[in-house]
Amino acid sequence: MASKGRDSLASFLGVIVFLAGVTVIGLALWQAWQLFSLTPRDSLGLETGKPIDFGSVLQHFGQVLIRILLLVLIAGIGSTLANRGARMYASGHRPHTPDPDE
């Protein structure tokens, strides 16, 4: 008769991968908080009393866009890791299957 229970290695690895994914998502949220807590003046490198250098502003704006795209990518990777970890944990459960010789 097949045993009913859990594959402890799959369950353990599933929890570890899930927690790694949640940690990556938390890192992305922390980075987003830092990015969006800056004022637009600071983000674009503008200084009071100086003329606007459009080349510098466009360069800073491009850097902000790249950081936003990287945050989206990091959050997506974290989400994928968390999803895979949950699936690994769930696959560690071995349902009872009747033995054909019974």
Tally of domains in the chain: 1
33: containing domain: 8-37+56-92
Task: Give residue for tokens 């080349």.
Answer: 55
Residue 97 lies in a domain: no
Angle between helices 54-91 and 8-36 (to 10 degrees): 160
When pLDDT is cut at 50, 70 and 90, the band that residue 34 belongs to is: very high
For residues 31-55, give the mean pLDDT.
85
Q: Is the pLDDT of residue 100 over 70?
A: no
Domain-embedded: residue 13: yes
For 30-56, letters b (16+ CB in 10 Å) and e give eebeeeeeeeeeebbeeeeeeeeeeee
pLDDT of residue 68: 94
Residue 69, domain member (yes or no): yes
pLDDT average, residue stretch 59-80: 94
User: Does residue 48 sit within a domain?
Assistant: no
How far is it, in rounded angstroms, from Cα 89 to Cα 94?
11
pTM of the model: 0.73
pLDDT at 92 over 50: yes
For residue 45, being part of any structural domain is answered with: no
> Does residue 98 lie in a domain region?
no
Fill in the amino acid letter for 28.
Answer: A
Residue 99 domain-assigned (yes or no): no
More confident residue, 45 or 32: 32
Of 85 and 94, more confident: 85
Q: In which band, very low, low, confident or very high, does the pLDDT at 96 lie, cut at 50, 70 and 90?
A: low
Strands (E), 27-76: none
Assess if residue 68 is contained within a domain: yes
